[in-house]
Structure 1
């Protein structure tokens, strides 16, 4: 199975930011850390990851956390 390169960058960046994988990371913060990736592409990738159960994104939006073991 091929890993989406955008998802890989998001996952790696989040894990460097919070090694315990428990904090909510602001999407704006993620965007600042990954300036080479279009903001809309980040949003679409995170939306797909939420549908796949790889991230938790609270209803108010604007932040996310990785779900362990994904």
Structure 2
């Protein structure tokens, strides 16, 4: 599974969890919701998305949210 496919699953899961895209979702919670994806791959994908401006991560890196309208 490539990062594009992982990002799609992450964003779909997050949007079902918070349709307003405003709350921070714990990465541990995301990993539990996507048990078929390696947690390390989830973290790397979120780091890449944050660099590209598609996601915001908390200061400690334990939670994230999607950037609206991106």
Give structure 2 stretches of 5+ with no counterpart. Answer: none
Runs (4+) off by over 3 Å: none
RMSD: 1.1
TM-score computed with the length of structure 1 as normaliser: 0.93
Give structure 1 stretches of 5+ with no counterpart. Answer: none
Note the C-alpha offset of 1:60. 1.5
Q: How many residues align?
A: 68
In structure 1, how many angstroms separate the alpha carbons of the residues matched to 2:69 and 2:6?
18
In structure 2, how many angstroms separate the alpha carbons of the residues matched to 1:33 and 1:60?
21
In structure 2, how many angstroms separate the alpha carbons of the residues matched to 1:58 and 1:16?
20
TM-score computed with the length of structure 2 as normaliser: 0.93
